[in-house]
Amino acid sequence: MSTLPVPRIAVIVVAAGSGARLGADGPKAFVGIDEHTILHHALQGVFAAPAAQVVIVAPAGREGDALTDARAVAGDRADLVTVTTGGSTRQESVAAGLAVLWGDVDIVLVHDAARALTPPEVFARVADAVASGRGAVLPVLPVVDTVKRVDDDEVRAAVDRDELAAAQTPQGFRRELLVSAYRGAAQEFTDDAALVAAAGHQVFTVAGDERAFKITTPADLERARTTLHPAAQAALPRVGVGTDVHAFGGDGALWLAGLEWPGERALSGHSDGDAVAHAIVDALLSAAGIGDIGTHFGTAHPEYAGAHAAVFLERTRELLAGAGWRIGNVSVQVQANRPKFAARRAEAEAVLSAALGGAPVSVAATTTDGLGFTGAGEGVAAFAVALVVPA
């Protein structure tokens, strides 16, 4: 059995950022992902990993809030927590954290609170690598996008992505190495690994994790919420938009909004040219994320040649049900000089609603004051918006 002492590990959690790019009213670390803050979630990963001291670098005036978050996560390990005030830059904040490390700390992990969902195993990988003799270690992910070197808006060259990696945190260091590098720092660096490398030290890598993404923009915050609560996000209603256009010139009678219009010119199309029904179909399929009208009813499906609205809408309702959705409501607007909808609006709404299993459908109609192909009487355009909800 080894008699070597177990390294004592401190994690410095940098939580002093302003959150300007997030568009937050206050410091980023105290923005809520759900009922808990970004900092709260970050500390869950920290306290699940090996740590003898946890230093939280907070914005001036928010030290008490940081301590409250820490105590809520740490439980009976709250005595491991030290809160200190950060500086105006990330580098100043890390230096503030280094200044309050306990004397017996051997290894320092520096972690951005903004990488709030970093799993404990990333902390463990970094700490183990430093403990095994690596002086500086950072977790990375491979770069999967094609990368270009550009000047203004002109592409200058392609960059070999096999030589690239995306750096994450926590980044781990032997304490004396990191402290020495900070003492000699003559410029600002974007992360601690770059500062240490500039001081002449070799930096090694371990595998990062997709969940360790940085919350910087509102889209990142939404990604974090979805990552934490995928079922809740999936349960949200969804909206889809559909549009369809058909020209006059078909054979037989006009079919529009599920109704036959005697004495009116027919629309041309693969089926009956019912632009209203087809726009509704596209809106519903779009909302459910299951393709479009061409996917399910296009010319590759000869069984729908000449089919009327009820066939399309009933089949669409079946497709949505199979994907776990039901129809909330549909609103559709028709743009055409003819036919005149006012007298048959309620009839059209009833027919369309029945074909959708009773989901309410509202129909509005307008002309375009003689403008465009509809104003010239060449055809009909329809625009639909559909709401679907989990079944």
Domains along the sequence of the chain with CATH:
9-229 (3.90.550.10), 237-390 (3.30.1330.50)
Find how far residue 33's CA is from the centre of its chain: 13
CA distance 209 to 119: 8
For the stretch 118-177, pLDDT in tens is: 999 999 999 999 999 999 999 999 988 888 889 888 888 988 888 899 999 999 999 999
Cβ proximity of 275 and 382 under 8 Å? yes
Give the residue numbers of the binding site. Answer: 244-246, 270-271, 278, 292-294, 366-369, 373
Asked if 296 and 319 touch (Cβ cutoff 8 Å), the reply is yes
Of 165, 120, 102, 116, the C-alpha closest to 138 is 165
Reported confidence tier of residue 1, pLDDT bands at 50, 70, 90: very low
Q: What phi and psi, each to the nearest 5 degrees, are found at residue 108?
A: -120, 125
**pLDDT one-digit tens code per residue, 226-250:** 888 876 666 789 999 999 999 999 8
Calculate mean pLDDT across residues 193-212.
96
Element (H, E) at 334: strand 325-335
Q: CA 85, CA 69: separation in Å to the nearest integer?
A: 15
- pTM assigned to the model: 0.64
Binding residues for a divalent metal cation: 244, 246, 278
Round to whole Å and give the CA distance between 70 and 143: 34
Q: What does the pLDDT read at residue 139?
A: 97
Contact 247, 378 (CB under 8 A): yes
